[in-house]
Amino acid sequence: MTQKLVIIGAGMASGRVIETLVETDSDAYDITLFNAEPRGNYNRIMLSPVLCGEKTYEDIVTHDDDWYAQHGVTCRFGEHVVAIDPELKVVEGQNGHVPYDKLVIATGSAPFIIPVPGKDLPGVITYRDLDDTNAMIDAAGEGKRAVVIGGGLLGLEAAAGLAERGMDVTVVHLMGHLMERQLDEAAGYLLRRDLEKRGITIRTQASTKAIIGDGRAEAVLLEGDETLPADLVVMAVGIRPETRLATDAGLDVARGIEVNAQMQTSDPDVFAVGECVEFDGNLFGLVAPLYDQAKVLAHALLDQADAFVVKDVATKLKVTGCDLFSAGDFAEGEGREDIVLRDPSKGIYKRLVIEEDRLVGAVMYGDTADGNWFFQLIKDGTEIDEMRDTLIFGPAYQGGDTSDPLSAVAALPPEAEICGCNGICKGTITDAIANGATDLAAIKATTKASASCGTCTGLVEQVLQVTLGDAFELPTAQPICTCCDLTHEDVRRLIKSQELKSQDAVWQELGWKTRNGCHVCRPAVNFYLLADWPLEYQDDPQSRFVNERKHANIQKDGTFSVVPRMWGGITNPSELRAIADAADKYNVPTVKVTGGQRIDLLGVRGEDLPAIWADLNKAGLVSGHAYSKGLRTVKTCVGTDHCRFGTQDSTGLGIKLEQALWGSWTPHKVKLGVSGCPRNCAEATCKDIGIICVDSGYQVSVAGAAGMDVKETERLCDVTSEQEAIDVTIAFVQLYRENAKYLDRAYKWVAKVGLDWVQERIADLDERARLIQAFELSQSIYRKDPWAEHVQTKAAQYQPMANLTLEAAE
Amino acid sequence: MNWIDIGHIDDIPLRGARKIKTALGCVALFRTSETEVFAASDTCPHKGGPLSEGIIHGQSITCPLHNWVFDLNTGQANGEDGQIATYPVRIEGDRILIDGAKLVAQSAA
Ligand code: SRM
Ligand SMILES: Cc1cc2nc3c(=O)[nH]c(=O)nc-3n(C[C@H](O)[C@H](O)[C@H](O)COP(=O)(O)OP(=O)(O)OC[C@H]3O[C@@H](n4cnc5c(N)ncnc54)[C@H](O)[C@@H]3O)c2cc1C
Ligand code: SF4
Ligand code: FES
């Protein structure tokens, strides 16, 4: 006997249920299909091609009127179901009741709307169905501005579609990288790069505070009070299972409508399928598992045995030119190992995650051809032990290592600058090679590349090797560490010429072999990025040694030392009192006068750091950076103020220099000395920069040392005014910041580039002015007290996160 | 297992660490990615360096005192004879849960 089947929702899941039912046994049920949308089942996935104009609605219809008629489905489209009565087994539609023997709820999801002021203004659109898509198409227009809130799959497809329609699009995303649930940071970086290439602006770590407008959306207001003007706002921050009918009917509902493996709800005659369900704690947002559910449900309705199992899903993004693939679980869990392959020349990134000899996750960008093969390995749980070493090269692997250490250089475009001193691009060098310059000396002679400071020599040699192949033998240069094939100098040069402004950009474009470097290369890269891009790049404390991350020197017993700054070695009774009080209050075991003319409080507990800093701050004392690769001390002597031999105000100049330079990060530490006369009581001639005051002015000398090596400074120049002495000092520090290898003290760097070269640069007044300006720009960010900042914003992180010993006592 | 909620995932900075006090001494929680956290002893077997103050890279931690590198999956030190205890942790939603079975002091053992 034919039973009555009512289905609520004519979406992708229920569409597949009906297909399977009518194919298997077309007489089993008399079907009534409700749909809130005024149409039947269409391929919702293809709304993005409709949005960007590649397809029309007609192209994506799955079941048209004829199809429903042919299969005897009674359609009630454009009609909401408002209630279910499971006792009477009746469904209440807006236009009347329908009784059922079996009921299927397939109501899909509703877009999640973030509860900010202005969310209901006209001009704010979600992205779920054809009406939303048409509303976006109507609102779009050449030159108009759209803000898309949400950088996940839906948001980015909307953004790409609107950009295609000529809109000026900004994506606002809460997290640190795009599609964070499907992609890791590296792939997220590449995706961002490709979207930016199409003119889409991406704002990560940006939180929406409100949507503002008079009668219609006009702008999005971000946390931090920046406003982004918008003619259209698309909210695509996520979806929520549409469970309201089920909840009202008293069915079991968690986050979704709870079903068993036969898609049966807590009422045996009521089934649910699609995005509205929750199975075994899982929710669903992609169609592949929904089709499995649909098949199982059709079988259940026909009393055939079948059971739904959750399988891994794979994600792709339907934006042309953004080729990405992710599958399985590539982040969480212990006992995992990564295999990473990067090919900067082709913009390719692949990462495989292996657990117990099985592939459990894969993320790919750029070349996703092998995606399905990997996906199959994940789903089948194939043992990959045998092919582990070559796995990442995919099924077509023929033998031989396909990753090329030179590929970062091979990938550089002809206009990439190789030699910064002389402004020589890769193309000029390859032209010279073509014209017969086949070794370094010939390149230097014909193009001047690497003929000045010489730090680009490694790169020039690599260009020779890439161009000439085996005809050129590459001298073995020392790479930074095993994470990459490039030297420090090469990395510095490429960060500048390729305008790499994030760690992820460096990892990808320079072919790093690990996920995010190691304790050797990451601090170096962090410094290079902040030195070259002070405004664009944000210093990363997690890429710093503990001393610099915590702004205190760690001691061998895990306690810390605290050294406040004493400008030029000058202090006063109230500062000394504050130091004495702090030493008492925090039980500081050792108080020592340092070799740098200030006081060290040794043995402070990590938990007490914010408190002791706050106390010292109150007395006007700030961090002495005794821990940093940055300015340490400026040692001075008493000079003209008191000394019978003093020629200039050495103490005053020392204080001015310390105030100009403090807080700046440098490749290694920087120490200065200023002596009032050639007797040199401030030991200026063994510092990184030493100034000796004389009757005629100031002798500025650089590149001294008194640690592991002892070396006298060399004269940089003589100047007549104090201002000039300050200018020359700052210019030298900035030149060192821009060019030196991380962890080279100034004397080591000067030995490499030559004092002549340094003198030339500083003597050139335009260059000197540029260096000073660049330094000042960087100092606009970094000339501030890190202690005060940590007291305000990071104090909690100095405390243990939890105390489980208390848990036991309770 | 005795899962104890010890905090929000964002209480630990990305690629950073925090420590918790336990009956067995300090245990460090290392956040290696947006959604991945490991737990292991905070004390370096070399000379007692506090591992939560080290640099995290990939799924490894480098001790801040003398640069021993430990694999957080196994606790094994790279090329050195030493290992740290690791503890089960999991993430549920935004919360970090640690298995307290071993960590909470038993009053009568
Ligand atoms: C406190 C102090 C010794 C003192 O009691 O006087 C000191 C203490 C340390 N020095 Fe020093 N140096 C101190 C003045 C010096 C001096 C003398 C000076 O600056 O006039 C030198 C020689 C001058 C020079 O730098 O060339 C000096 C050359 C070094 C070196 C070798 C540097 C080199 O390139 O050769 C290191 C190791 C390093 O930096 O890699 C070092 C490292 C250290 C460290 C940071 C070791 C460490 O990594 O933990 C010590 C930290 C102690 C702490 O916890 O506070 N310290 N150190 C001095 C602090 C000065 C200040 O007020 O900031
Ligand atoms: C723009 C876009 C792009 C996508 N891209 C992909 C992709 O690339 N890959 C992928 O796998 N997935 C993609 N998805 C997700 C995929 O479309 C969904 O997973 C799938 O459509 C869910 O099917 P469903 O049947 O559960 O719900 P739906 O297809 O949403 O159908 C539910 C239907 O129920 C109706 N309804 C709800 N409540 C009631 C009620 N009370 N009365 C009557 N009718 C009601 C709704 O109007 C709707 O028509 C995309 C989704 C969108 C919006
Ligand atoms: S000389 Fe050696 S032991 Fe003394 S403070 Fe400097 S680094 Fe430490
Ligand atoms: S204490 Fe950890 S490496 Fe020495």
Nearest CA to ligand 4 atom 4: B66
Q: Smallest Cα–Cα separation from A364: which of A374, A378, A377, A379?
A: A374
**Token pair of A100, please?**
């059922």
Please give the mean pLDDT across all residues of chain A: 91
Q: Establish if B108 belongs to a structural domain.
A: no
DSSP labels, A622-649: -B--TTSSBEEEEEE--HHHH-TT--S-
Phi/psi at A341 (5° precision):
-130, 130
Could you tell me the CATH superfamily of domain A631-784? Sulfite Reductase Hemoprotein, domain 1 (3.30.413.10)
Beta bridge partners of A29: A3
pLDDT at residue A372 is higher than 90: no
Question: Region A376-391: what's the mean pLDDT?
Answer: 82
Q: How many helices (H) and strands (E) would you count in chain A?
A: 27, 39
Contact A593/A599 with Cβ under 8 angstroms?
yes
B34–A176 CB contact, under 8 Å: yes
Q: How far is CA A358 from CA A398, A579, A600, in A?
A: 22, 59, 54
Higher-confidence residue: A418 or A521? A521
Q: Does B25 touch chain A (CB under 8 A)?
A: no
Determine, yes or no, domain membership for B109: no
Q: How confident is the model at residue A1 (pLDDT cuts 50, 70, 90)?
A: low
How far from each other are the two terminal CA atoms of chain A, in whole angstroms?
A: 65
Does B109 score more than 50 pLDDT?
no
Q: How far apart are CA A400 and CA A392, in angstroms?
A: 12
Residue in B102, B67, B71, B38 with CA at minimum distance from that of residue A546: B67
CA atoms within 13 A on the CB side of A444: 13
Mean pLDDT, residues A273-287: 93
Of A545, A531, A535, A538, nearest in space to A502 by CA? A538
**Mean pLDDT over residues A452-481, rounded?**
80
Minimal C-alpha gap between A800 and chain B (Å): 5
Residue A788 pLDDT class (50, 70, 90 cuts): very high
In angstroms, what separates the C-alpha of A512 from chain B's closest C-alpha? 12
Q: Quick one: pLDDT band at residue A810, thresholds 50, 70, 90?
A: very low
E strand or H helix at A161, and its extent?
A: helix A153-164
Mean pLDDT of A169-195: 91
State yes or no: pLDDT of A809 exceeds 60. Answer: no
Same fold, A124-237 and A547-623: no
| Average of per-residue pLDDT across A504-530 | 93
CB A194: neighbour CB atoms within 10 A?
19
For the beta sheet containing A124-126, the strands, ordered from the edge strand earlier in sequence to the opposite edge, are A124-126, A232-235, A145-149, A168-172, A201-203
pLDDT level of residue A398 (50, 70, 90 thresholds): very low
Per-residue confidence band for B100, with pLDDT thresholds at 50, 70 and 90: confident
| pLDDT more than 70, % of chain A | 97
Q: Name the more confident of A153 and A9.
A: A9
Which residues are within 8 A (CB) of A769 and not within 5 positions of it... i.e. 6 or more apart?
Answer: none
Query: What is the tens place of the pLDDT at every residue in B2-48?
Result: 899 999 999 999 999 999 999 888 999 999 988 899 999 999 999 89
The CATH homologous superfamily to which domain A323-393 belongs is: FAD/NAD-linked reductase, C-terminal dimerisation domain (3.30.390.30)
Note the residue count of chain A.
810
Output the domain CATH number for residue B78.
Answer: 2.102.10.10
A201-244 confidence digits (pLDDT tens) = 999 999 999 999 999 999 999 998 899 999 999 999 999 999 99
Residue A396 pLDDT: 61
Q: So what's the pLDDT on residue A339?
A: 85
Query: In chain A, what residues touch B69 (CB-CB under 8 Å)?
Result: 518-519
Question: pLDDT, tens digit, for every residue of A299-350?
Answer: 999 999 999 998 877 787 778 778 888 888 876 556 788 888 888 877 889 8
The pLDDT assigned to B105 comes to: 58
* pLDDT of amino acid A332: 52
Range of the domain at B19: 3-103
Query: How far is it between the farthest Cα atoms of chain B?
Result: 40
Which one of the ligands is nearest to A519 CA?
A: 4
Is B19 part of a structural domain of the chain?
yes
**Rounded CA separation A247/B59 (Å):** 43
Interchain contact B45–A (C-beta under 8 A): no
The pLDDT-based confidence of B107 (bands split at 50, 70, 90) is: very low
Q: In whole angstroms, what is the distance from residue B19 CA to residue A799 CA?
A: 8
Strand pairing report for A145-149 and A257-258:
unpaired
Q: How many domains does chain B have?
A: 1
Structure tokens that stand for A791 in this block: 């007291």
pLDDT for the residue A15: 95
* Three-state DSSP state, A444: helix
B16, closest residue in chain A (CA to CA): A542
Q: Count of CB atoms within 10 A of residue A695's CB?
A: 7
pLDDT at A760: 95
pTM here is: 0.69
Judging by DSSP bridges, how do beta strands A670-675 and A689-694 pair with one another?
Answer: parallel
What's the CA gap between A242 and A255, in Å, rounded? 10
Q: Phi-psi region for residue B58, left (φ > 0), alpha (ψ -120 to 50) or beta?
A: left
Measured between alpha carbons, how far is B3 from B101 in angstroms, rounded to an integer? 8
The CATH homologous superfamily to which domain A3-109+241-301 belongs is FAD/NAD(P)-binding domain (3.50.50.60)
pLDDT at A453 over 80: no
Closest partner CB to A334 (pick from B6, B38, B48): B38
Secondary structure (H, E, C), A15-66:
HHHHHHHHHHCCCCEEEEEEECCCCCCECHHHHHHHHHCCCCHHHHECCCHH
The shortest CB-CB distance from A804 to any of B14, B22, B49 is to B22
* The pLDDT value given to residue B37: 94
Could you tell me the pLDDT band of residue A122, with boundaries at 50, 70 and 90? Answer: very high
SS3 A533: coil
Instruction: For residues B63 and A233, give the distance between their C-alpha atoms in angstroms, rounded to a whole number.
Output: 48
Residues in a beta bridge with A468:
none
Confidence check: pLDDT of A611 > 50: yes
Share of chain A above pLDDT 90, in %: 69
CB contacts of B65 in chain A (<8 Å) are 554, 556
Mean pLDDT, to the nearest integer, of B82-106?
Answer: 87
Q: How far apart are the C-alpha atoms of A184 and A316, rounded to whole Å?
A: 14
Per domain, the residue ranges of chain A are: 3-109+241-301, 124-237, 323-393, 407-536, 547-623, 631-784
**What is the tens place of the pLDDT at every residue in A655-688?**
999 999 999 999 999 999 999 999 999 999 999 9
Query: Which atom in ligand 1 lies closest to the alpha carbon of residue A598?
Result: 62
The CA distance from A458 to A476, in Å, is 9
Shortest CA distance to A726 belongs to which of A771, A760, A668? A771
> What pLDDT is stored for residue A404 in this prediction?
59
Collapse the DSSP code of A540 into the 3-class scheme (helix H, G, I; strand E, B; otherwise coil) and give the result: coil
Query: Ligand 2 centroid to A59 CA: how many Å?
Result: 17
Segment A74-107, tens digit of pLDDT: 999 999 999 999 999 999 999 999 999 999 999 9
Confidence of residue B79 (pLDDT cuts 50, 70, 90): confident
CATH for A124-237 (3.30.390.50, 3.50.50.60, 3.30.70.20, 3.20.20.70): 3.50.50.60
Please give the C-alpha separations between residue A143 and each of A232, A424, A483, B76, in angstroms, as whole numbers: 12, 38, 44, 58
Fold of A407-536: Arc Repressor Mutant, subunit A (1.10.10)
| The Cα angle at residue A627 between residues A621 and A630, in degrees rounded to 5 | 90
Does residue B26 lie in a domain region? yes
Å between B1 CA and nearest CA of chain A: 15
In-domain check, residue B28: yes
Domain spanning A547-623: CATH 3.90.480.10:
yes
Yes or no, beta carbons of B55 and A515 under 8 Å apart: no
B65 touches chain A (CB under 8 A): yes
For residue A738, what pLDDT band results from cuts at 50, 70 and 90?
Answer: very high
Residues contacting residue A226 through CB under 8 Å, at least 6 positions apart: none
Residue B23 within any structural domain of the chain: yes
Does B35 contact chain A (CB < 8 Å)?
Answer: yes
